[in-house]
Structure formats: C-alpha cells, structure tokens
Structure 1
Amino acid sequence: MKVVMYSKENCCLCDNAKAVLHELQQEFSFTIEEIDIYKDDALLEKYQIMIPVVEMDGEEVQFGIIQKDVIRKRLTKVFAVE
C-alpha cells in the first residue's frame, strides 16, 4: 500500500508528519510518496495552506497537524480489509 503526503520544503509540520508516518511503518507495511506542492501549480493552489496532507487510496485522511492515532486507525481499517 502507498500513502501519499503532500508537503513543501522547510515545513516543520511536514517534518513531524513524515516522522509519524515513519513510526507507523514499524507497525504496518506501506510506502510513503512525498509530493512537493510547489512543483505543481494545481497542487499548490489546492493545498497551499493545508499541508501537510496525508492521502490513502485517493482520500485525504488528515491535514495540518497529523495525529498518529488518526492515521493508525485508518491503516488498521485498510489492512483489516486486505
């Protein structure tokens, strides 16, 4: 499974979100695709003040301050179905 994280450079919230995702990789098997919104005008317009944004299966799961429990809950659901 792939988790997408929309972010930008020099963003402490993005760094924290990335740390949360890396911690959760110890519990769940998934890859992280990090996308810099400043490299795509459409993404910049869509997410400019929302980042970081964590997306799973095409659905925005959480944005801003990423909480480990919220992401863990979603991952638990996803892996229970597989």
Structure 2
Amino acid sequence: MPVSPHTLLQHVQDRTTDLRRWLDTGENTAVLTAYLRDEPVDHRWLTTYQRLTHDLLRAVDHACPSRAPHETQTPNAGRPPDRR
C-alpha cells in the first residue's frame, strides 16, 4: 500500500525533530563539534548520533520520489539555427 507524500514528509519532520532535540540535550552540540573536528568522542554518543542521522537520511530518501535523469538543454533550444 503506497504511503502518502504528506505522511512521508511528516516522517522526515519527526526524524529531524528527534535529532535536533537530542543535539539540544546535555553537551551533545559541543560533542558534535568535537566529532566534526576529529576529536575523540564517547562511543555511545557516536552510535546514537549515527543512528539518528541514518534514520533521518532514510526518511528523506523515502520521501523523495526517484527521478529520471533530466535532459540537458542546449543554450539555443527552441530557437532556429543561426545561418550566417
């Protein structure tokens, strides 16, 4: 059974909220900054961060319909050829 786009977007918003709330608790934002600077972080913290990020990215992937590759138009598309 297909899931509505509204439901998929709600799932993305929920996962984003989960990650933001978690980052706002304790020293998580400071630890994220340390992690991004390649400083050592607690293994449990890193596992939780990676899980929440993975959940968010998976929700976004499910909410975005797969697109066919787009065709690149030439700069003079729709104009008659220049016959100088």
TM range (shorter): under 0.3
- TM-score normalised by length of structure 2: 0.26
**Structure with the higher fraction of residues in helix conformation:** 2
- TM-score normalised by length of structure 1: 0.27
Which of 1 and 2 has higher RCO (CA within 8 Å, sep 6+)?
2
